[in-house]
Amino acid sequence: MTGRARSRGRRTGVGAAAPARGEDFQRMAVLTVVANKDYLPLVRTSAMQVAALLELPLPQVIDLRLAVNEACTSFLAEAPRPQSEPGSATRATLCLCYDRCVDRLRVTVRGPAPALWPARDELGWVLLCAVAGEVHAEVVDGVGTLTLVDPLRRGA
């Protein structure tokens, strides 16, 4: 799952995250969306589909959906936009990668990092840390990378 629209003007999107060197993994999906709350339902749906492909139990599916939603929400800076066109106020994108490793699922979200990102003192961050196995965040040259790592049950 990947999509990129051609557009005029400056784009502030980022590409797919590279896996760690020497790590055995299967890239299950890549999704690039406009960095706008109107696209969060698509993000949640992608998380649920990956969870279904891995045959995760329902509580883990719900946790994954919530974690991916919170991860993407953390990148969204509130900015007014005209109501006529979704995503018209920004050309920024978020890129999600779902990678299945031997015993875990790694979800990486990359996008332009808002000021003071990640906000570790906000409720969204606390919720993210509560539902995801491991959470790692870094900013390099204004691009934020948020990585969620969840263990997979045997047989998934």
What percent of the chain has pLDDT above 90?
A: 66
Q: Describe the strand order of the beta sheet including 25-34 as a list of residue ranges.
A: 25-34, 93-101, 104-112, 143-151, 134-140
Q: Which residue has the higher pLDDT, 122 or 79?
A: 122
Whole-Å CA distances, 70 to 6, 29, 53, 60, 130? 27, 19, 21, 15, 11
Average pLDDT on 2-16 reads: 40
> Is the pLDDT at 106 greater than 50, yes or no?
yes
- Residue 70 falls inside a structural domain: yes
Domain span holding position 70: 25-79+88-151
- CATH number, domain of 107, equals 3.30.565.10
Query: Does residue 156 form part of some domain?
Result: no
Could you tell me if residue 115 is inside a domain?
A: yes
- Whole-number Cα distances in Å, 148 to 34, 83, 90, 100: 20, 32, 25, 12
- Please tell me the distance from the alpha carbon of residue 46 to that of residue 19, in angstroms, as a whole number: 19
pTM listed for this prediction = 0.78
Structural domain count of the chain: 1
- Domain presence at residue 11: no
Residue 37: both structure tokens together: 């709350």
How sure is the predictor about 1, in pLDDT bands with cuts at 50, 70 and 90?
Answer: very low
Q: What pLDDT sits at residue 60? A: 93
Distance (Å) of CA 14 to CA 20, 60, 70: 18, 28, 19
Q: Is 69 a member of any domain?
A: yes
Q: Do the domain assignments include residue 9?
A: no
- What pLDDT digit, counting tens, does each position of 42-71 carry? 999 999 999 999 999 999 999 999 999 999
For residue 86, give both structure tokens: 């979704």
pLDDT band of 92, cuts 50, 70, 90: very high
